[in-house]
Structure 1
Amino acid sequence: MDSPWLIGFLTFFGYLLGSIPFGVVVSRLLGTVDPRSAGSKNVGFTNVLRVSGKKAGVLTLIGDIGKGWAAGWAATFLLHQEAAVLGVALASIIGHLHSMFLGFKGGKGVATALGAALGVAPWIGLTLMGLWIGAVVLWRYSSGGALFAFAMFPVVSLLFHRSWLFIGFACVVSLLIWARHKDNLVRLWMSEDAKSLHVESRKLLIIQECMNVLPRRQQVIARTKSVDRGAVGSNFLYKDAA
């Protein structure tokens, strides 16, 4: 039986660790743009990469994954109850989402959640990371890749024969990630709608052009035949135009 004091301490430690905004810290150390004032104003890896460059982005990614991993690994090493271990891992993710150093605002939790998964279940964490990278390479959307990977988190947990408690943890983390990406979901949906609208508009234009061209051709043919057929040609023209 784990000590309640130890569980409480590690849970707070996990939250405190998760609260460290590495995107802001790295940007200040490198003298680059504060991610909260540029781009999407998110403190996570993607926005830091966009506004401050590769070096800052990679360091932010390492820091965000590392803090989730450290919390999960420490809990796994020091605690025996699965619920307590998963609680500490979840606390690190919540710390990133609602950082005490940023007025309880934060990032979107993808990298920290991946790190936490690596800390408590390395093979599952590696699988999620592979799904994320693969989806990003395929679709060219970082947020889309993250949403796909975490949608698969409960499924992957089930395939690895984890406990129902762990699968419940995976579901909670997935919901947190998806809820945090609601604006991205709207943009992705509007992007797809715009693409669909563009395709449909092109189809309508092509159909309209065909509708405009074909009658003229038919009329030319009809008029040509009417020269030879006289009144019969007139009937032909009338029927073709109808």
Structure 2
Amino acid sequence: MILLAYLAGSISSAIVVCKIWRLPDPRTQGSGNPGATNVLRLGGALPAITVLFFDMLKGAVPTYCAYLMGIDAVSLGLIAIAACLGHIYPLFFGFKGGKGVATALGAMAPIGGGLALCLIATWLLSVLITRYSSGAAIITSLSAPLFTWWLDDRFTIPVAMLSTLIIIRHKDNIKRLLAGTEPKVTDKKLNKK
């Protein structure tokens, strides 16, 4: 399941969607990050929503299948991390992937609708207030283990594992946020970061 999750994660939705929509390669344009936020800047809402959906799906499917197989909580966390690592370091796309936020959200969603709603609401509220996708991702990642502990404490450790991975992946964004140079979601034209 770990290997299958990694392989599923390695299918880069952003690159595939950009090819289908004939948009620039998100690894070389905009922020240089092959994720939904950069695709939003490059091609608008519909391609970005498509990327978001498929990035979440590749986290949700392996984790939920493993859950149905009765795999223990810590192993579920490892499977979810494997899907995110596939997204971050995709085998099929030269190991240059995105931040893993949507894939992690997808992996956490099967825990329960309440958790998914809390995470989505936290991200949306954070991005509306700050206008920073990365800042919203960091805030949501910090909140996720607390929400999980409150709603279904069996999965607190795997969610904390995923959250740690997402925060580590955002280390450059954290530096830019502190320096005041991080691009906002509304920034249309960016030099590759």
Q: 1:185 and 1:83 mapped to 2: Cα distance?
A: 28
Which SS does the other structure have where 1:37 is aligned?
Answer: coil
Structure 2 counterparts to residues 94-133 of structure 1, below 5 A: 94-133=85-124
Give unpaired runs (5+ residues) of structure 1: 1-9, 193-242
Residue deviations 1:175-223 (CA, integer Å, cap 9, x gap): 211111112111111119xxxxxxxxxxxxxxxxxxxxxxxxxxxxxxx
Give unpaired runs (5+ residues) of structure 2: 182-193
Q: 2:135 and 2:150 mapped to 1: Cα distance?
A: 22
- Aligned-pair CA distance for 1:102: 2.0
Q: Equivalent residue for 1:175?
A: 164
**Is the helix fraction higher in 1 or 2?**
1
Matched, 1:31 2:22: yes
Instruction: Check 1:171–1:114 CA distance in 2 against 1; reply closer, same or farther (3 A cut).
Output: same
Q: 1:79 and 1:86 mapped to 2: Cα distance?
A: 13
User: Is the 8 Å Cα contact of residues 97 and 109 (structure 1) preserved in structure 2?
Assistant: yes
- TM-score under structure 1 length normalisation: 0.70
Q: Equivalent residue for 1:187?
A: 176
- Pick from 141, 144, 156 the counterpart of residue 150 of structure 1: 141
- Aligned-pair CA distance for 1:62: 0.9
Q: How many residues align?
A: 181
> Runs in 1 of length 4+ with deviation above 4 angstroms?
none
Q: 2:96 and 2:110 mapped to 1: Cα distance?
A: 24
Which SS does the other structure have where 2:95 is aligned?
Answer: coil
Residue deviations 1:135-178 (CA, integer Å, cap 9, x gap): 11122111111110111112112212413xx3222222122111
Between the aligned residues of both structures, percent identity stands at 36
Q: Taking CA–CA contacts closer than 8 Å with sequence separation of 6 or more, which of the two structures ends up with the larger relative contact order? A: 2
